[in-house]
Amino acid sequence: KIALFWFRRDLRLQDNAGLYHALRSGYPVLPFFLFDRHILDPLEDKRDRRLEFIHQVLGELQEELKEKGSTLLVKYGYPEGTWQQLLEDYAIAEVYTNHDYEPYAQERDKKIEALLRERGIAFKTYKDQVIFEKDEILTTQHKPYTVFTPYSRAWKQKAKDPFYVKSYPTEKYFRHFLSATSEPLPTLEALGFEASGEPFPKKVLRREMLEKYHDLRNYPAAPGTSRLSVHLRFGTVSIRELARKGEAHSSTWLNELIWRDFYQQILWNFPHVGEGKAFRPEYDRIRWRNHEEEFQKWCEGRTGFPIVDAGMRQLNATGYMHNRVRMITASFLIKDLLVDWRWGEAYFAAKLLDYDLAANNGGWQWAAGSGTDAAPYFRIFNPTSQAQKFDPQQKYLRDWIPELNSLDYPPPMVDHAQARERCLKAYKAALGKE
Ligand code: FAD
């Protein structure tokens, strides 16, 4: 009999909670990954770089496992059918995996757990992706926090206990992987996708970056942030290791990791945010303009507001956008163009390499004012002064808009002052404010 370890968004052998428990189960462990057709089928872009990222990482995992005399089992299909087949092919005693908080994943896991239970097989799942999850951090009234600052205070207090940030020493038990000949992975093409061959952000956390983070993080032209988001998204790095480094070298950076936990617990405790609803229901009364052509200009980076256009072009070309610019582009779409934040959320979801439902929804609802910590509705970013403040030398702008100072660059698509008034009117009408 064997134990199966199911990789999902935890694609590493080191410091992996569920894998650690599997390796200590007493059964030989067969690691497994499923290319889930429920997720792959709707992807329209056949050059989706997230698939390319996962595929590349699985290749690396396969090499590591081969060195240890084992293999990674990779399947392509729908979860239920695949699991039925696995149960026929292998004598499975137990299944190990890590928690996944997204609504689709929860539903999928419930079905698989039930399928396994029918055969008397345990489905054991662990916290791995975050430091604190679900209801681990509650207010004194035992309610989830809905405001970040007190949440982060409680988080830091609890994290003083080293238990929560300690690594799981999987390497001590690597000899417990099932002995097996290494099987080739399906190619990306066999899955219906193509590689771009472009490099991905490196998996390194530099001490120098952490030391300068507080001063440089808002300047999109500076290499001032970690660029680890895609690695955090797919679990190629351990959050516990990063939290320890943040604690040691930059409390500002640690705070960003706490935002990540914060939004994960919001999605868990307030599932309506993941179902297309505003965290604050009154914001669903806003009458959006939803002008298709204007939305298209925003998507393509042709608004005539250089910081917005630079950000959208960076996103379209690389799958990444600097955080400050995510805030500015989101604010512009929602407030200057009065386009429903859900349109922008969906566009980012399709394009971001680091796309994460909880963080993306949190970011968009923050910008719309409808979210947890929401900026007050009357605070509207001025894209011109934001650019002057955060890209004073226009380096970021020129990097992404070669035609910036020529006649080819379009004039601003709206008058910001007028758009601001129009937005305030729409928000006030929805919220019943004078
Ligand atoms: P760093 O500044 O080095 O931060 C370290 C890590 O902390 C990040 O990798 C990320 O995992 C986490 N983090 C940082 N800021 C936030 C935040 N505000 N909320 C949650 N986690 C955070 N982040 C995503 O990971 N996925 C998304 O889909 C996403 N969508 C966003 C949409 C909008 C409208 C906004 C305003 C922000 C969004 N963010 C999202 C948050 C943030 O912009 C990115 O995490 C960050 O830019 C990634 O770059 P980095 O790895 O260099 O971050």
ipTM, 2 dp: 0.99
257 annotated among ligand-binding-site residues:
yes
**Closest Cα partner for 266 from 370, 142, 106, 147?**
147
CA 368 – CA 335 distance, rounded (Å)? 8
Is residue 58 scored above 80 in pLDDT? yes
**Distance, C-alpha 326 to centroid of its chain:** 14
Q: Give residue for tokens 């989101």.
A: 330
Is residue 151 scored above 90 in pLDDT? yes
Reading the block at residue 276, the tokens are 């297309």
Query: What tens digit of pLDDT does each residue of 371-416 get?
Result: 998 668 888 999 999 999 999 999 999 999 999 999 999 999 999 9
Q: Does the active-site annotation cover 155?
A: no
Tell me the average pLDDT across 72-89: 98
Q: Where are the beta strands (DSSP E) in 145-300?
A: none
- Alpha helical stretches, state H, 250-305: 251-269, 292-300
210 annotated among ligand-binding-site residues:
no
Residue 197 pLDDT: 86
Q: Does the active-site annotation cover 364?
A: yes
CA 69 – CA 177 distance, rounded (Å)? 8
Residue 375 pLDDT: 66
Residue 376 pLDDT: 80
Reading the block at residue 5, the tokens are 């370890």
- Residue 107's H or E segment, with its range, is helix 103-118
| 3-class secondary structure, 370 | coil
- The DSSP letter of residue 203 is S
Q: What are phi and psi of 2, to 5 degrees?
A: -130, 165
Q: Does the active-site annotation cover 343?
A: no
Residue having the nearest C-alpha atom to atom 8 of ligand 1: 229
Query: What tens digit of pLDDT does each residue of 323-364 get?
Result: 999 999 999 999 999 999 999 999 999 999 999 999 999 999
> Ligand 1 pocket test: which of 321, 354, 372, 373 has the largest number of ligand atoms within 8 Å of its C-beta?
354
Residue 374 pLDDT: 62
Is residue 434 scored above 90 in pLDDT? no
Count of residues for the chain?
434
Asked if residue 422 lies in contact with residue 314, where contact means CB atoms within 8 angstroms, the answer is no
Residue having the nearest C-alpha atom to atom 3 of ligand 1: 226
The structural domains of the chain, ordered by start, are 1-129 (3.40.50.620), 130-166+206-269 (1.25.40.80), 276-431 (1.10.579.10)
Q: Does the active-site annotation cover 288?
A: yes
Query: What tens digit of pLDDT does each residue of 175-228 get?
Result: 999 999 998 999 999 999 999 888 999 999 999 999 999 999 999 999 999 999
CB atoms within 10 A of CB 12: 21
Q: What is the DSSP annotation of 1-48?
A: -EEEEEESS---STT-HHHHHHHTSSS-EEEEEEEEHHHHTT---TT-
- Residue 78's H or E segment, with its range, is none
- Residue 421's H or E segment, with its range, is helix 416-431
Sign for the pseudo-dihedral over CA of 82, 85, 87, 89: negative
Q: What residues are in contact with ligand 1 under a 6 Å CB criterion?
A: 217, 225-229, 232-233, 256-257, 259-260, 263, 323, 326-327, 330, 348, 352, 354-356, 359-360, 362-364, 367
